[in-house]
C-alpha cells in the first residue's frame, strides 16, 4: 500500500478552516467525534465517492476508488474539520513515514490554531 497525499482533500480542508468550519476539540476526542461506519456509508450513498475522498488526506492510488480501503487519514465529520482528527492523523502519518501527509497535517493544524 503506497499512501500519498490527497491534495484535493487538503485544499478542501484548508477552505473549510478559512470559512471557520472547524472544531477546536481536545486532543483525544477523535474516537468519540469520528463518523461511524454507518455514517460513512450514508455519506457515500448521499454524496458519492469523490466527496467522500475529500475528507481524507491519504489516498492509495492502487486501491479501487470506490472502496474505503483507498482513503485514509480522515480529518473531519463530513461537515467540519476536527482539530483532534488532524492531531491524530499527524501522529499516525509520522509513525508510518508518510512525510508529505505529516507536513500537510502540521500546516493544517497551524491554520486552525491561528484562526
The reported pLDDT for the residue numbered 51 is: 98
The reported pLDDT for the residue numbered 28 is: 87
Q: What are phi and psi of 35, to 5 degrees?
A: -60, 145
Tell me the C-alpha distance between 27 and 88, whole Å: 8
Q: Which residues in the chain land under pLDDT 50?
A: none
**pTM of the complete model beyond 0.85:** yes
Would you list the domain boundaries of the chain? 4-114
Q: Are 3 and 98 spatial neighbours (Cβ–Cβ below 8 Å)?
A: yes
The reported pLDDT for the residue numbered 115 is: 62
Q: Which of 44, 79, 85 is nearest to 65 (CA)?
A: 44
Amino acid at each position: 500500500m503506497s499512501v500519498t497525499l490527497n491534495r484535493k482533500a487538503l485544499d478542501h480542508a484548508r477552505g473549510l478552516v478559512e470559512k471557520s468550519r472547524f472544531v477546536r476539540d481536545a486532543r483525544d476526542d477523535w474516537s468519540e467525534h469520528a463518523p461511524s461506519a454507518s455514517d460513512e456509508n450514508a455519506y457515500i450513498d448521499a454524496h458519492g465517492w469523490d466527496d467522500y475522498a475529500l475528507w481524507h488526506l491519504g489516498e492509495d492510488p492502487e486501491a479501487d476508488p470506490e472502496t474505503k480501503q483507498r482513503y485514509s487519514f480522515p480529518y473531519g465529520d463530513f461537515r467540519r474539520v476536527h482539530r483532534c482528527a488532524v492531531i491524530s492523523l499527524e501522529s499516525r502519518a509520522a509513525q508510518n513515514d508518510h512525510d508529505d501527509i505529516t507536513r500537510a497535517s502540521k500546516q493544517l493544524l497551524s491554520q486552525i490554531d491561528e484562526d
